[in-house]
């Protein structure tokens, strides 16, 4: 602990460093830190161990999975659209075929983000970084050579990777995690997805949309238990109705990788067989390679680092943002965390913080998006709320677009009319939610459900769901 206490002392101002700041990682969090510091005139360098910038968000996580989802969603829409005759129906695409679209998006995003660093004169070094002391990093280049680099301040934004238990052979050609699934090079007819969180549910939708038989193993009682129960139930029903077999309250005891299949043995005694396995149960912060012991910082069992409200670690000149600090582990939030951390690095503290009601976007087919409280939370807190609903099948725009599956639900206070939560299930849910989020963030009496009744929406649009839901909710209010 003597090391940690000495680390808290600020470096002497007469020490000359190679840079004002080093940022480790080029995902959304690292990009946010680097851009903000550079615009403030600081000499910034970013260290990225991969060949191009963007981090896991661009190359293995958010962008690829959402691009895959978009392609599969359009394929489903094509096959179900009554505009086309039976001659053109049931067109089949393989995983590799739709992955080509995702690869193009990844390339465009990496080039775009690389341009940000270039225009802002932020140097990018492709190497793996580890700490020597609180101001010095060892750089290990792809060819094995090493170097040292120093800076007054350092930001850790190394992101996370899929959790891979040691009793499963992830080198087997039929066993994948949520990163390596992008290298799937055959056309499976069946798949086991272990883990029914956000990633597992999204890939269950993607593979089922491609006509693959899906077994989704969930360790909990219901899917995505953090969601409003009605929305969770809607997703469960939709997956079930499309042929996904969901196995709740199950855990694996062993996994057998064979030449032609994968067999998963469950603790309940069940045995499952499929062409391949996608293990999607949790993530781990990328901190084990940083040699944190050298600077007196300890990561927890999930590889995450503790920070204060200014994103400062136990070492005064070292900050951390993004997945390595845990909640909310969202790309959108990580970029803001990076900006706020940069402000603290420049001025000693953050003047802004993440909003309390961070929207969630889950890119299943159809999408799910929520902001604010759930019915279960409000009931537990004994808040007198009411519910307004709009079914997409009643909206002209949804009928025109043949996207009638889904609904919008608004929760509001019975007395003040203040909006307390908004939950959406259906096509474009992650876009639709932002209309309600914008009103929820308004001060005073401006964030009430009456806004949606008195406002005029374009017609026909999906946004009209807010007016329909508001009227539906207000009609439930009665006076004694």
Residue 94: phi, psi to the nearest 5? -85, 165
What tens digit of pLDDT does each residue of 455-469 get?
999 999 999 999 999
Report the DSSP pairing between strands 245-247 and 213-217: parallel
DSSP state of 413: E
Write down the pTM of the prediction. 0.91
Question: Above 50 in pLDDT, residue 376?
Answer: yes
Residue numbering of the annotated binding site: 48-57
Residue numbering of the annotated binding site for FAD: 48-57
What tens digit of pLDDT does each residue of 161-219 get?
999 999 999 999 999 999 999 999 889 999 999 999 999 999 999 999 999 999 999 99
pLDDT averaged over every residue in the chain: 92
Q: Which of 81-90, 376-385, 463-472 has the lowest mean pLDDT?
A: 81-90
Contacts of 2 (CB under 8 A, 6+ apart): none
Long-range contacts of 66-69 (CB under 8 A, 24+ apart): 66/363, 67/101, 67/102, 67/105, 67/106, 68/98, 68/99, 68/101, 68/102, 68/206, 69/202, 69/205, 69/206, 69/363, 69/364, 69/365
3-class DSSP state of 416: coil
- Give the pLDDT score at 2: 35
- Going from the C-alpha of 262 to that of each of 172, 184, 272, the distances in angstroms are 10, 14, 8
pLDDT-based confidence at residue 43 (cuts at 50, 70, 90): very high
- Give the pLDDT score at 75: 86
What tens digit of pLDDT does each residue of 269-325 get?
999 999 999 999 999 999 999 999 999 999 999 999 999 999 999 999 999 999 999
Q: What is the mean pLDDT of residues 365-393?
A: 97
- Give the pLDDT score at 13: 55
Question: Above 50 in pLDDT, residue 11?
Answer: no
- Give the pLDDT score at 12: 46
Question: Above 60 in pLDDT, residue 5?
Answer: no
- Give the pLDDT score at 356: 86
Domains and CATH numbers, the chain: 2-162+284-347 (3.50.50.60), 175-281 (3.50.50.60), 366-474 (3.30.390.30)
């Amino acid at each position: 602990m003597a090391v940690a206490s000495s680390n808290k002392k600020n470096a002497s101002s007469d020490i000359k460093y190679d840079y004002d700041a080093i940022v480790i990682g080029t995902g959304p969090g690292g990009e946010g830190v680097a851009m903000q510091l550079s615009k403030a005139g600081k000499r910034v360098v970013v260290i990225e161990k991969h060949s191009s910038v963007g981090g896991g968000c661009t190359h293995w996580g958010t962008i690829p999975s959402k691009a895959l989802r978009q392609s599969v969603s359009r394929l489903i829409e094509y096959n179900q659209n009554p505009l086309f005759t039976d001659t053109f129906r049931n067109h089949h695409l393989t995983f590799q075929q739709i992955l080509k679209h995702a690869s193009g998006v990844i390339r465009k995003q990496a080039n775009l983000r690389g341009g940000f660093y270039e225009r802002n004169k932020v140097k990018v070094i492709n190497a793996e970084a580890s700490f020597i002391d609180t101001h010095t990093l060892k750089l290990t280049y792809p060819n094995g050579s090493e170097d040292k680099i120093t800076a007054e301040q350092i930001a850790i934004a190394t992101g996370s990777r899929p959790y891979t238990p040691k009793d499963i052979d992830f080198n087997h050609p039929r066993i994948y995690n949520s990163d390596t699934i992008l290298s799937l090079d055959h056309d499976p007819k069946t798949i086991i997805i272990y883990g029914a969180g956000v990633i597992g549910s999204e890939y269950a939708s993607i593979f089922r949309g491609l006509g693959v038989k899906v077994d989704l193993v969930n360790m909990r009682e219901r899917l995505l238990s953090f969601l409003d129960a009605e929305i969770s139930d809607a997703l469960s029903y939709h997956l079930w109705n499309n042929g996904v077999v969901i196995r709740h309250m199950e855990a694996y005891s062993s996994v057998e990788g064979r030449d032609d299949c994968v067999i998963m043995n469950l603790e309940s005694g069940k045995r499952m067989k499929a062409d391949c396995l996608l293990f999607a149960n949790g993530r781990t912060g990328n901190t084990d390679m940083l040699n944190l012991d050298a600077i007196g910082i300890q990561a927890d069992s999930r590889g995450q680092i503790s920070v204060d409200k200014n994103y400062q670690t136990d070492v005064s000149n070292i900050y951390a943002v993004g997945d390595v600090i845990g909640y909310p582990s969202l790309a959108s939030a990580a970029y803001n965390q990076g900006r706020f951390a940069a402000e603290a690095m420049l001025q000693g503290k953050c003047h802004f913080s993440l909003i309390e009601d961070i929207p969630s976007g889950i890119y299943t087919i159809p999408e799910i998006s929520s902001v604010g409280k759930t019915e279960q939370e409000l009931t537990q807190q004994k808040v007198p709320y009411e519910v307004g609903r709009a079914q997409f099948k009643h909206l002209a725009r949804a009928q025109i677009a043949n996207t009638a599956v889904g609904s919008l639900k608004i929760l509001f206070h019975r007395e003040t009319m203040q909006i307390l939560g908004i939950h959406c299930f259906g096509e474009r849910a992650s876009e639709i939610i932002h209309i309600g989020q914008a009103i929820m963030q308004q001060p005073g009496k401006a964030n009430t459900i009456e806004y949606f009744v008195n406002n005029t929406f374009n017609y026909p649009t999906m946004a009209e769901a807010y007016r329909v839901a508001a009227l539906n909710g207000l009609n439930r209010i009665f006076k004694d």
